[in-house]
Chain A
Amino acid sequence: MYISVTRDKCSGCGVCIASCPYDAIVMHEDRARITELCQLCRACLSVCPEGAISEVEDGVVRKEKGQGRGVWVFAEQRSGRLAGVSLELLGAGRRLADKLGAELSAVLLGNVERGAQELICWGADRVYLCDDPAMDTFNDEPYANVLSELIAQYKPEIVLAGATAIGRSFFPRVAARLHTGLTADCTSLDIEESTGNLLQVRPAFGGNIMATILCPHSRPQMATVRPRVMKAAEYQDDKKGEVIPVKPVKITSSTRVTETVMEVSEVAVNLQDANIIVAGGRGAGGEKGFKLLFELAETLDGSVAASRAAVDEGWIPYRHQVGQTGKTVGPKVYIACGISGAVQHIVGMQSSDIIIAINRNPEAPIFSIATYGIVGDMFEVVPMMIKKIREIKGL
């Protein structure tokens, strides 16, 4: 597909030039012309008063006829432990597979005790298991080789992986080799009713906008999803499934991991495992404001997070930052104090079950996503909350 200007219709008014977010339209011989900067955002289509701009379909079809079916999830393990994001993906994959009337499979490379059975209990119908010592440690080339071979053999419709250091590193190699599309950091995945194509929604421009991405003419459709964005399905103790052993292929690697060093900061763990998060933004005003928020978090046994504005001001270290450029969290309760709710923050916390917003400005965008909102000064509201909670707890 591409965007085209019908020269006969174009009046050369230039309205489209102003509408183009990518500076991709220029005047050429008094008519608009789309340049190579075009990103197919379609902003110009609706603004042209002459209707001279249109999309032209010319996609190269790479779908093979009689291809296989099914939704696959790459089940990531590190040091013999399944990554949480893989279980979340099984939840998302299950819903997609059910919509397509297809099976859900997991691919597990390396040894995880009872790993295949666990994946089945979390929703997989089938597990392709390559339980070879060469797979225990992550290396890009062997991982890409094994997964590419499997995909070529079984031809799944959709393949998902976690947007982790591992997934984001080797998945592109697989997509490049298979000449298919890969969409990173999806925040929602769905099936387009009319076509059966995967609708992949992801943030772009630092989270300032969302884009829906399609991969209509190539298979499989590949996507990565950040941890804590999807919800895992219910764990089923007695679920049965099939385990298919896979022989490793081309396991030689030009890279070799000589040492693995774990450096987990306490806060990272606390934030991502926390049931309750108390977060502060510019409205916290300084370290004093955060002291108050730490106090509230303590009475609730929660953790403290911050928006980029507060981190940039130096009121709290970066490891507390939630948002597009920080961590993604999904607690039961997220209490946003003095946070206006810039998109870049919202994408990091919108999957929280309950969002409570406290802000002086009734127009603050945070209120539009808040379950409960209080228009007021956090320096008034938060101490009242602390007092009330202490009363209830009998402190």
Chain B
Amino acid sequence: MKIVVCVKQVPDTAEVRINPETNTLVRDGVPSIINPYDLHAVEAALQIREAAGGEVTTLTMGPPQAENALRETVSMGVDRAVLLTDRLFAGSDTWATAYTLYKGIEHLGADIILCGKQAIDGDTAQVGPEIAEFFGMPHIAYVRKIVEVGNDRIVVQRLMDDGFDVVESSLPVLLTVVREINVPRLPSLKGKMAAKKAGILKLSAADLKAEEENLGLKGSPTQVKNIFAPEAKANRKVLSGSMEDNVAQLVNELVEMKCI
């Protein structure tokens, strides 16, 4: 069983703020982490390997620094890690990212592809299904439990807005996983030591035989026009009377709105 897990290095979004005066992101000292959902995907892959045998590869597209994220997955016990890196990948939106990862996975071969349900910096949840589409293989999004893995089929529970579906699929298949699926393991010391020495396979656009017009900015249909701090509504009215009066006024408003 060949399992490929797509991971992404992201800024810890809990720490990101915008400077309202300059409309730029303030991320001084914001650490880079592995997208938390991807850790669940790595754990799911390791559990499949433990149950059914096989080889787990983590794959990321990014700048050379993204190696750190890959090494972290090696310390959790994955067999190898692959970095897709090339200046041609710059400025990729979800379409171009999915295309690039697809070419990478095509190069490596996979029976099961795992992704976190979304990345916390973009929250789009699009790259996984798009990769599957490029392959023409089925995908199941929001997997909360892997029920059964066979040689040519898999049964999972898919989280829905009003409950869950039990879904079966042929292989190869792409799954995106939600947090409920497992608790990611911590790295082991031997893993950490192996990660320090591990060779990371680096592939460029040429290695992937990717079509240049599908890569990076050129391949990206969407553009960011601007970023800004979430706007404030203008109709604020801070009640400035005595506390008694304020509360009375508030309750009156509620009465007028027929809430009482």
A36/B89 in contact, CB under 8 A: yes
Tell me, rounded to whole Å, the shortest Cβ–Cβ distance linking B176 to chain A. Answer: 8
Tell me, rounded to whole Å, the shortest Cβ–Cβ distance linking B173 to chain A. Answer: 7
In the assembled complex, A147 has its CB within 8 A of some CB on chain B: no
Mark interface residues in A135-149 (1 if CB within 8 Å of B CB, else 0).
Answer: 000001100100000
Interface size class of B (residues with CB under 8 A): 35 or more
Q: Which residues of B contact A264 (CB under 8 A)?
A: 162-163
Q: Which residues of A contact B108 (CB under 8 A)?
A: none
In the assembled complex, B151 has its CB within 8 A of some CB on chain A: no
Q: Which residues of B contact A116 (CB under 8 A)?
A: none
Tell me, rounded to whole Å, the shortest Cβ–Cβ distance linking A179 to chain B. Answer: 7
Known: A19-B24, A21-B24, A78-B162. A215 touches B221 (CB 8 A): yes
Q: Which residues of B contact A369 (CB under 8 A)?
A: 232-233, 236
Q: Which residues of B contact A140 (CB under 8 A)?
A: 129, 138-141
In the assembled complex, B18 has its CB within 8 A of some CB on chain A: yes
- CB contact list, B127-179 vs A, under 8 A: 127-130, 132-134, 137-142, 155, 158-170, 173
Interchain pairs with CB closer than 8 A, number: 309
B165/A374 in contact, CB under 8 A: no
B173/A36 in contact, CB under 8 A: no
Tell me, rounded to whole Å, the shortest Cβ–Cβ distance linking B31 to chain A. Answer: 12
B98/A43 in contact, CB under 8 A: no
B221/A346 in contact, CB under 8 A: no
A172/B228 in contact, CB under 8 A: no
B230/A210 in contact, CB under 8 A: yes
A385/B247 in contact, CB under 8 A: yes
A35/B87 in contact, CB under 8 A: yes
Which of these, A204, A375, A393, contacts B122 with CB under 8 Å?
A204
A184/B227 in contact, CB under 8 A: no
- CB contact list, B114-133 vs A, under 8 A: 120-130, 132-133
B93/A181 in contact, CB under 8 A: yes
- CB contact list, B228-242 vs A, under 8 A: 228-233, 235-239
Mark interface residues in A366-389 (1 if CB within 8 Å of B CB, else 0).
Answer: 011111111110001100110011
Interface size class of A (residues with CB under 8 A): 35 or more
Q: Which residues of B contact A393 (CB under 8 A)?
A: 260
A254/B138 in contact, CB under 8 A: yes
A176/B133 in contact, CB under 8 A: yes
Tell which of A65-73, A105-113, A161-169, A235-243 binds the partner.
Answer: A161-169
In the assembled complex, B79 has its CB within 8 A of some CB on chain A: no
B226/A211 in contact, CB under 8 A: yes
Tell me, rounded to whole Å, the shortest Cβ–Cβ distance linking A182 to chain B. Answer: 6
In the assembled complex, A8 has its CB within 8 A of some CB on chain B: no
CA distance A346 to B232 in the complex (A): 10
B229/A372 in contact, CB under 8 A: no
Known: A169-B129, A181-B221. A176 touches B226 (CB 8 A): no
Which of these, A141, A217, A257, contacts B165 with CB under 8 Å?
A257
CA distance A78 to B167 in the complex (A): 16
Mark interface residues in B19-42 (1 if CB within 8 Å of A CB, else 0).
Answer: 000111111000000000000000
- CB contact list, A334-355 vs B, under 8 A: 343, 346-347, 350, 354-355
Interface set of A (CB-CB < 8 Å, partner B): 1-2, 19, 21, 23, 34-43, 46-47, 58-60, 62, 78, 140-141, 144, 164-166, 168-173, 175-177, 179-185, 199, 203-218, 253-264, 275-276, 300, 324, 332-333, 343, 346-347, 350, 354-356, 362, 365, 367-376, 380-381, 384-385, 388-389, 392-393
Q: A42-B226, A262-B162, A392-B255 are in contact. List 20 more A-B contacts (CB 8 A).
A: A43-B22, A43-B227, A169-B139, A172-B125, A206-B13, A206-B120, A209-B25, A210-B227, A212-B226, A213-B223, A215-B223, A217-B221, A254-B169, A255-B140, A257-B167, A264-B162, A333-B257, A356-B250, A370-B236, A375-B238
What are the 10 closest A-B residue pairs judged by CB atoms, nearest first? A21-B25, A36-B90, A181-B221, A206-B13, A181-B222, A254-B138, A368-B232, A169-B141, A176-B133, A172-B129
